[in-house]
Amino acid sequence: MHASLKHLLRGDAALRDTLAELLGSDAELYELAAMVSDVGARRQAVHPDTPIETGVEDGRPLVCTAFVALQDVTTEMGPTILWAGTHSAAAHAAWEEDKAGFLRGALPRVALLSKGDVLLFDSRLLHCGGANREGRRALFYFSLKARRETRGIDRARHAAWWVAGRVRAGRGRGVVVLKLRVHSGLCIS
């Protein structure tokens, strides 16, 4: 798995540069795995991967998660569902107060990815895996964490997180889809 991650980060400047802008060039590996969903898997409960950290501005991601599609992901395969803009303390507080009501009022985004696409999101974003009704879905995923020494850097200049056609969810919403076409060495048969 480490070899696949090194291949991905060395081979694609857009992903490498975006992660460096968001987390600093010295970000550390936080999580590395594959996620598999088989036919019949139920939808996950909505959740963030990491909580809001007290004393940290909402706009500063501390951990970014990347899902790399190893195949085309269809609606029937239970794609990741994300609620854009929910990576803030205010959104988490409202969600904790009334989860069902909060989700009724929020617009979900379904990550229908093509093989080789990378879904990059702030790990505080509310999301879940959908119910799988057809075929095995596999994602290569990793999370990188900003080192404590670089957390104080003003990240306001990190426009790559929101611009250049990379965003499907909108400016400042915590979600990016990069069309990287990273097929070489990362696929399932």
Q: Model confidence over 54-98: pLDDT tens digits?
A: 666 655 678 889 888 889 999 999 999 988 888 888 889 999 999
pLDDT on residue 52 = 85
pLDDT on residue 170 = 38
- Burial (CB count <10 Å: 0-12, 13-18, 19+), residue 100: exposed
Q: Is the pLDDT of residue 106 over 80?
A: yes
Edge-to-edge, what's the strand order for the sheet holding 108-110? Answer: 108-110, 80-83, 127-129
Q: Is the pLDDT of residue 177 over 60?
A: no
Alpha helices per DSSP H over the chain: 2-11, 13-23, 89-97, 99-105
Can you give the pTM of this predicted structure? 0.77
